[in-house]
Structure 1
Amino acid sequence: MFAHLMARTTTTVAAASVLALLSPAQAHATAIGSTPVASFDYQVGGVTMKVPTGCMFSHIIRGQGKDITYQNAGVDCGFVGALNAGFCNWRIDFTYANTGNKTYRTSRGNTHTECKIDPMRNNAPQKLPHYGKACAHLNINGVRRVSQCHHITK
């Protein structure tokens, strides 16, 4: 009886394994990247603000194929960077380009006049018409300061 039960269990497990190998797996992709924010100075109301080294601009994207289900970008600062007054008049934009590097869509963020040490933005899910790349850009006082991109491929 035990041998029969063991043979039946082994057959069931083997059949399930074969089915798992034959069924197409859902391909989900996650990409996370960070780019250092270079030190720079800018003016706010006649006051010079200095962004020191030690900050990273990170961009995360999740999805499948040309469908982006989640996208977020923001700044994290450590060491000396964590001591700065923050980023004032900041905006985070998301752009999408085809494989020829031609931008066909921009999701422009709101400009935030408050100063924040850790500006961050989520973007709505996207259904892209083309493979290519998705980028996030940090703008301070209307000037693009740093970008981080991920390639969207088959």
Structure 2
Amino acid sequence: MGEITIVALITEEELIEAYPIMNQLRTHLDQEEYLELVYESGAKERYQLLGLRDDGVLKAIIGFKPMITLYYGRSLWVCDLVTDKQARSNGYGDKLLTHVEQWGKQHKYESIALSSGLQRTSAHHFYEEKMHYSKVSVVFKKEF
């Protein structure tokens, strides 16, 4: 592991650079739809996409947004967290999630939450055992 930096991914060039990593998690999105959704969610919902670079090379990304709900209060919602498959188990997810947690504390948010697909058992272990998250609900979805 070299010099680790965490930076906001804002420009179209940066977002395109992140797409192959995001596509490992969001396989249903082509690059055009991915860009449209990042731009729209950023404008309407304050979605932010951060990247972790190791010696300048993008290795992992996290997308999150601030939310206010009656259940969570002032909270952050992690929408996306993925490490490039070639770079997993190097602590990059931990670093990104910790970075967003610190950002939330600095900006007076009360909690952080996320959902994870039922099949992603290794991710669940990471969230519960490594990051000390609790299972507090089950998410239901209905397609229109």
Q: TM-score, length-normalised on structure 2?
A: 0.30
Higher relative contact order (CA 8 A, sep 6+): 1
When you count helix as a share of all residues, which structure comes out higher?
Answer: 2
What's the TM-score, normalizing by structure 1? 0.29
- Larger of the two Rg values belongs to structure: 1
